[in-house]
Structure 1
Amino acid sequence: MTMQRDVHDELRARLHEAADAHQPNRERMLARIERGMAGQERTDHRATRPPLWGWARIVSATAAVAGMLAVGGYAVASAVKDEPPARQTVSVSPAPVESPQATSRPPASPEVTPSSGGGEREPDEPSSPPSKTAKASPSGTPAADLLPATDDTENGPLWSDGSVDPHSNDFWAQSNVTIKTSEQLTALTVQLRIAQTGGVSSTGAWRSPPEDDFALTVAERDGFLVYTWVLKEGRTVPKGEWVFAGQYDHDRGGRDAKDDTYTVSAAWDGEEGLVGGDFAAHDDDEGDS
């Protein structure tokens, strides 16, 4: 008994000595704690998965919202369907009604724009160079009545002359009718007749009096290209010298103007008279009186 007790006492003493000598390993303890906590987190993560009844609740809520939207859409469609569509009207222009006078009116006489070589000029200004920018085709309407031909270049206050412009060439020409009057004219008609010698066609016309004072007709009559200027009613031509010119193309080569003529009809102070002639050269002293 005594021996056994001594053994226990000796063992107890050694255990106390070992306990006093033990130094805890702090790092190992912390590592063990961290491993234990990590294992617990994985266990908790698996335990927090949503149960099946949670998904069923989400699906039910979604179906309820979709149903409400469908019912609302149906109600809106029904309300729109019940309203009758607005009536639309389309304006249609009435069919054009042809006037009975539309085909009975004669076409207006064509006005011929003066060429760039024409325009207003003083009697002593040199004649204009050829210009083809104001081409005018002969009118399809009947020309003014042909005035009677005459060889009298002077009559009362009137004097006249016909000449081919010096700027004419092998393809183009201009014929000038010059008149002088010592009285104011209350009526005036100037007619220029160009014989059709081949390829003769109008390219324009001009006059030195104001353009708005005259009506111009260009037409082909009896083998002639006829230019006719007529003073408008209520207009007058003052004293002075005036030029009326017709421009035209012709076949290549020098053109013979021997068959070209002109006539001028005028009225002044209650009297009337005619002058006219051809396009042959005249002496310079003619018409000086």
Structure 2
Amino acid sequence: MKDEELSGRLREAAEAHLPDRARMLARVERGMAGGRPAPRSVRPPRAVRPWLRVAGATAAVCGVLAAGAFAVTSAGDDARARGGPVASAPSPAPDSPAAKGPGGLPPEDGPLWTGGAVDPNSNPYWAQSNVTLRTTEPLTALTVELRVALTGGVNSTGSWRSLPEPDFTVSVNESGGYLVYRWTLRPGRTVPAGTHTFAGQYNHAEGDRDATGDYVTAHAVRASGGKAAVGDRFGRTR
């Protein structure tokens, strides 16, 4: 076969195998449409809801207040631990109404004096309120009343006095928001001159109990004639 004839046949074969450009583009487009992942939508940032802003502001304020309260409490505790002074309310003037006992009764009247204080052996669940009565002359009549404010969980667990038990009648009851202990000298008996103690015992809610609402009164008749009446509030500085 001549060279010219061979070259012509090769050229015809090559032209017969030329790719169909239109068909190729169509196949590429179909492949891209089928295999390409669909574009993801982008969610715009959500606006902060109003209640979340309020809650956040409230939490911030509470945090500031809590930090301030902790700082004040810590300062007081540190002062007590170091034995330093802790701020307290000023004591009333001796001749002012606030310095007198309940009902305007003075802590001292003639030969009679009384004072009330919580016993130092009291604990976070139980307490004893001590009443000290001092008289410089015998008494032929005497009534002592101890009133314990009915704060949380207060209920009586007993009472006692340093004077002879047969000389007194004793009652305990609730009245006007108080647990009332009453010791009354029996007719024909006498309280000698000296210092005497009356005590009421009671349970209370756990923790330190505030006794500033408690008070004691005493009414007496002197053997020499005349009456005397005194009173005192617990926790008051005289």
- TM-score, reference length from structure 2: 0.56
Equivalent residue number for residue 272 of structure 1: 227
Contact residue 191 and residue 262 of structure 1 kept, 8 A: yes
**Unmatched tracts of structure 1, length 5 or more:** 1-147, 284-289
Contact residue 212 and residue 236 of structure 2 kept, 8 A: no
Structure 1 residue aligned with 2:184, among 225, 230, 249? 230
Contact residue 158 and residue 201 of structure 2 kept, 8 A: yes
Total equivalences in the alignment? 136
Distance in 2, Cα, partners of 1:150 & 1:197: 24
Contact residue 149 and residue 277 of structure 1 kept, 8 A: no
What SS does structure 1 have at the residue aligned with 2:209? coil
Equivalent residue number for residue 195 of structure 2: 241
Distance in 1, Cα, partners of 2:219 & 2:140: 11
Distance in 1, Cα, partners of 2:104 & 2:186: 24
Measured against aligned partners, the alpha-carbon deviations of 1:142-178 in whole angstroms (never above 9, x if no partner) come to xxxxxx7344100000111110000011000000110
Q: CA deviation at 1:270?
A: 1.5
Runs of 4+ in structure 1 off by over 2 angstroms are 148-151
Letter in 2 for 1:205: S
Equivalent residue number for residue 170 of structure 1: 124
Measured against aligned partners, the alpha-carbon deviations of 1:83-140 in whole angstroms (never above 9, x if no partner) come to xxxxxxxxxxxxxxxxxxxxxxxxxxxxxxxxxxxxxxxxxxxxxxxxxxxxxxxxxx
What SS does structure 1 have at the residue aligned with 2:173? strand
Contact residue 157 and residue 182 of structure 1 kept, 8 A: yes
- Counterpart check, 1:192 vs 2:137: no
Q: CA deviation at 1:282?
A: 4.2
Q: Bigger relative contact order, structure 1 or 2, given CA contacts below 8 A and separation 6+?
A: 2
For the pair shown, the structure with the greater C-alpha radius of gyration is: 1
Distance in 2, Cα, partners of 1:161 & 1:224: 18
Letter in 2 for 1:241: T
Letter in 2 for 1:280: G
Contact residue 163 and residue 281 of structure 1 kept, 8 A: no
Structure 2 residue aligned with 1:160, among 114, 119, 124? 114
Q: CA deviation at 1:273?
A: 1.3
Equivalent residue number for residue 50 of structure 1: none
Distance in 2, Cα, partners of 1:277 & 1:179: 11
Bigger proportion of residues as strand: 2
Structure 1 residue aligned with 2:205, among 251, 258, 263? 251
Equivalent residue number for residue 133 of structure 2: 179
What is the CA RMSD across the aligned residues, in angstroms? 1.2
Distance in 2, Cα, partners of 1:263 & 1:202: 19
Letter in 2 for 1:214: F
- Counterpart check, 1:205 vs 2:205: no
- TM-score, reference length from structure 1: 0.46
